Every structure is written in C-alpha cells, then in structure tokens.
A and B are shown apart, each in its own frame.
Chain A
Amino acid sequence: NAGVTQTPKFQVLKTGQSMTLQCAQDMNHEYMSWYRQDPGMGLRLIHYSVGAGITDQGEVPNGYNVSRSTTEDFPLRLLSAAPSQTSVYFCASSWVAGEQETQYFGPGTRLLVL
C-alpha cells in the first residue's frame, strides 16, 4: 500500500491562477479531508468527504473547491489563488471500525502564491 499520496510536492503560483492539488489513497477509506497548516495556527480543516459523491465544508472553505467522484481520489481546487493561500496542504483519510478511528496523512503540498 502506498497510503495517502499527494502531488505536487511544491508549487509556485501567481495571484489569480488556478490549480488542483491531487490526493489519492489506496486503503479503500470512505473518509477523506483536506487541511492547511500555517505557522502558529495549527492544522485547519478546509473540506471533507464521508464517501464518493458527498462533501462538506470545514473551518476555512473559502477559495477552495472539492469533489469526490471515486473512493480513491479527493482533489482540492484553488479557484483564483491569493497570497493568503500560501501554506502547506495536507490530505488525510480515515478508517473507522465501530468506535475506533485511525487517520492517515499524506506528505503534504507546499504552495507559494506570489
């Protein structure tokens, strides 16, 4: 198993450009999510999905769009990049068995918006 994979590892954008951050998992997890991590802020939830075709907003959804057409993939789209979106983005997937939940994070995508 590759676990949770993210591409690209690093990206530089100009203000106003759009791009898609890719996330894939091969563990057949139903639950997937996107977080951003900023210095001094901790991880904050952007969007999450409880299964294919179902998504919902997290704490900081503005400026981001998601869709979940398959169990494996959960891409994050930046519609019009802004310098405030400079951050490290992490994708995660969860395995739930009864009351036990385990979350796995990807290696992250570092995004710089100029």
Chain B
Amino acid sequence: EDQVTQSPEALRLQEGESSSLNCSYTVSGLRGLFWYRQDPGKGPEFLFTLYSAGEEKEKERLKATLTKKESFLHITAPKPEDSATYLCAVQAVWGGSQGNLIFGKGTKLSVKP
C-alpha cells in the first residue's frame, strides 16, 4: 500500500536554530515528491517537486532532498515567519499526472524569536 509518513508531528525551534523535517514513503513507482507549506486557515502553498534520488532544490532558507525511501526538508537559520505546517506528498507513476497524490499528515513547525 502506498504510504507517506512525516516526522516529527510537531517541532519547536528557536530563531536561527537549523533543523530537518523527514518524509518517508513507500510507493509502487515514484513519479514525484511534493513539499507544501500551509498556514492556518489557508490552502497549501507549493514549495518543491523532486523527481529522482539525489535531486536537491532550494528556496530561501529551505532545501529539499530526495533518496529512494525518504525526503528531507532542511531549514537553515529559521525565522518566526517560517512557522507553518509543512506537508509532503508523493505521486505514483501509475496514477498519472494529478492522479493519486498521497499526502502525509504534516509537520507543524513553530519558530520562536
């Protein structure tokens, strides 16, 4: 069964304290792995798509990496405005584009000044 597990469920950091969020997955053929940011009461905001093991993408203080079994979202020197829930999702090859995007439950990040 295709599955996505994110850890930890919640993470509290001090401003400037770097850390990583984990997304482990099992899927019968990975087409893509997606990272989103979601603020309370809002829709998910697209961050990255990763397609193959070894791929890395960066955006400001965020860096996403991908292996054959998991993805990491590294947050370097976070600021309070990085506080949000971060969602990971995988897309199976057989599902086709847009089809069967499987989401994890998310990691709620709080960054204290």
A15-56 interface bits toward B, Cβ cutoff 8 Å, 1 = contact, 0 = none: 000000000000000011101000011111100111000001
Q: Which residues of A contact B32 (CB under 8 A)?
A: 101
Contact of A45 among B36, B43, B100 (CB under 8 A): B100
Pair A50/B98 contact, Cβ less than 8 Å: yes
B17 to chain A, nearest CB (A): 27
Contact between chains at B105 and A40 (CB < 8 Å): yes
Q: Chain A contact residues: over half helix, strand or loop, or mixed?
A: strand
In the assembly, what is the distance between CA of A90 and CA of B100, in Å?
A: 15
Question: B36-95: which residues lie under 8 A (CB-CB) from chain A?
Answer: 36, 41-46, 49, 51, 87, 89, 91
Report the count of interface residues on B (CB-CB < 8 A). Answer: 25
Residues on the A chain within 8 Å of B42, using CB: 107-108
Chain A residues, CB < 8 A from B100? 45, 58-59
- Cβ contact within 8 Å between B89 and A43: yes
A84 within 8 Å of B by Cβ? Answer: no
Per-residue contact bits, chain A 93-107, to B (CB 8 Å; 1 contact, 0 not): 010100111111111
Known: A101-B32, A101-B49, A102-B49. A43 touches B44 (CB 8 A): yes
Could you tell me the distance in whole angstroms from the C-beta of A55 to the nearest C-beta in chain B?
11
Chain A residues proximal to chain B, CB less than 8 Å: 4, 31-33, 35, 40-45, 48-50, 56, 58-59, 90, 92, 94, 96, 99-108
A-B contact pairs, 6 of them (CB 8 A): A33-B101, A49-B98, A94-B97, A94-B98, A104-B46, A107-B43
9 additional A-B residue pairs with CB within 8 Å, beyond A40-B105, A58-B99, A100-B49: A33-B101, A43-B44, A43-B87, A48-B98, A49-B98, A94-B97, A101-B91, A102-B49, A105-B45
